[in-house]
């Protein structure tokens, strides 16, 4: 069978679901094109002089890697002139970036984590790009931070790209999740998995165990029960994986199931958690739910969280539906009992 390209897939979706209009299609294709450029930069590594620190910091107070800055610029440049966007927001920029006046403004807002897992760049482990698309509120010509503060349920599309052994683009427009693999020679993304489903049950968890002593009590109880294995209350052994690139950990879960947790802990409580709501948690939660999984903060559905600020952080529990619900129950039981 002839492979289906991303363009062909989007046109077919447009006909079938009538949710993708020409502007949204252009937006997704432009993001995909930018991701191809990032994939090339990542792939060149030391030969392209892209490894190491940029010598600058971002709004989160994190040191930026050269590739954080390069990827951010590639995404901004690719998206500025197409006429499909009103503004962008990025993990690497304090404020929203409006489309320059020289270009026409479209109806969409694009949010991204240009390079996720940047701590892994210099050791040649998979990194990625995460993006989320919202509608620009009616009548807003110059979008500001408040125009981006929409719940995850308002997303019209979301996706991520993993720069791993293969470069993959994972996409949802609210009608399931599809996976495209980059065919490097012609430089086109081809559909390689249609309508991915996450198994509802799992025996694999992903968490940074080095933070254990900082966790809240329900988190301690949940992981202790998994670690107790066959002899414990779960009655079976659990395996653990932690890549420390959210894109790679989520992609494993999309492929074979699992639960990914970045809880709030004593170290991150003041900030609300580690991962960012608008361009990490929301797009991943949308994708995971569209693949039949679940995503919560440990207390509530991530997609229902009403954002208060652009760079807001949240605890994240996502993956196989039954396991995420169970882990969330540990917190709810504690909430109800008034325990910590
Ligand atoms: P980013 O590189 O965009 O700042 O994101 C890093 C995130 C995420 O990708 C990963 O799951 C997590 O940080 C890793 O955290 P630890 O270093 O605490 O393991
Ligand atoms: Mn990230
Ligand atoms: Mn990042």
Torsion angle in degrees (nearest 10) through CA of 296, 302, 305, 307 = 130
Distance CA 180, CA 170 (A): 6
**How far is the centre of ligand 3, averaged over its atoms, from the C-alpha of 112 (Å)?**
9
The reported pLDDT for the residue numbered 141 is 87
Which two three-digit tokens encode residue 35? 């991701």
The reported pLDDT for the residue numbered 248 is 98
> Of ligand 1's atoms, which has the minimum distance to the CA of residue 247?
9
> Which regions in the chain score pLDDT beneath 50?
none
Distance CA 85, CA 42 (A): 26
The reported pLDDT for the residue numbered 334 is 81
DSSP alpha helices (H): ranges in 65-170? 66-80, 145-148
**How far is the centre of ligand 1, averaged over its atoms, from the C-alpha of 62 (Å)?**
11
The reported pLDDT for the residue numbered 315 is 98
Cα 121–Cα 127–Cα 130 angle in degrees, nearest 5: 135
For the stretch 252-262, pLDDT in tens is 999 999 999 99
Is the pTM higher than 0.95? The answer reads yes
Distance CA 3, CA 21 (A): 23
Element of type H or E holding 37: helix 22-44
Distance CA 109, CA 99 (A): 10
The reported pLDDT for the residue numbered 120 is 97
> Of ligand 1's atoms, which has the minimum distance to the CA of residue 113?
3
The reported pLDDT for the residue numbered 336 is 82
Spatial CA neighbour of 34 closest among 4, 2, 65, 71? 71
- Rounded to a whole number of angstroms, the distance between the first and last alpha carbons of the chain is 56
Domains of the chain: 6-193 (3.30.540.10), 204-337 (3.40.190.80)
**How far is the centre of ligand 1, averaged over its atoms, from the C-alpha of 119 (Å)?**
7
For ligand 1, is residue 64 a contact (CB within 6 Å)? Answer: no
């Amino acid at each position: 069978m002839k492979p289906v390209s991303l363009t062909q897939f989007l046109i077919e979706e447009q006909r079938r679901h009538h949710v993708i209009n020409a502007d949204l299609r252009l937006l997704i294709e432009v993001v995909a094109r930018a991701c191809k450029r990032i994939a090339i930069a990542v792939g060149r590594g030391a030969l392209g002089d892209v490894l190491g620190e940029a010598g600058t910091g971002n709004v989160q107070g994190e040191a930026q890697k050269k590739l954080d800055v390069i990827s951010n610029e590639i995404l901004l440049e690719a998206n500025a002139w197409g006429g499909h966007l009103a503004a962008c927001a990025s993990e690497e920029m304090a404020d929203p970036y409006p489309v320059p006046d020289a270009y026409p403004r479209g109806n969409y807002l694009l949010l991204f984590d240009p390079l996720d897992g940047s701590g892994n760049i210099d050791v040649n482990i998979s990194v990625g790009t995460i993006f989320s698309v919202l509608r620009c509120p009616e009548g807003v010509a110059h979008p500001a931070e408040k125009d981006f503060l929409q719940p995850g349920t308002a997303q019209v599309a979301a996706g991520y790209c993993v720069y791993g052994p293969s470069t993959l683009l994972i996409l949802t427009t609210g009608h399931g999740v599809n996976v495209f693999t980059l065919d490097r020679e012609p430089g086109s993304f081809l559909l390689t998995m249609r309508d991915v489903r996450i198994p509802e049950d799992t025996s694999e968890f992903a968490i940074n165990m080095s933070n254990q002593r900082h966790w809240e009590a329900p988190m301690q109880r949940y992981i202790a029960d998994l670690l107790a294995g066959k002899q414990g209350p779960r009655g079976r052994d659990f395996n653990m994986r932690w890549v420390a690139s959210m894109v790679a950990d989520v992609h494993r879960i999309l492929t074979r199931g699992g639960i990914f947790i970045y809880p709030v802990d004593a170290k991150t409580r003041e900030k609300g958690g580690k991962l960012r709501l608008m361009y990490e948690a929301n797009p991943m939660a949308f994708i995971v739910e569209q693949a039949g999984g679940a995503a919560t903060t440990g207390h509530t559905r991530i997609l229902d969280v009403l954002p208060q600020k652009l760079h807001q952080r949240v605890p994240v529990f996502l993956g196989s539906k039954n396991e995420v619900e169970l882990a969330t129950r540990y917190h709810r039981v504690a909430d109800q009992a008034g325990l910590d």
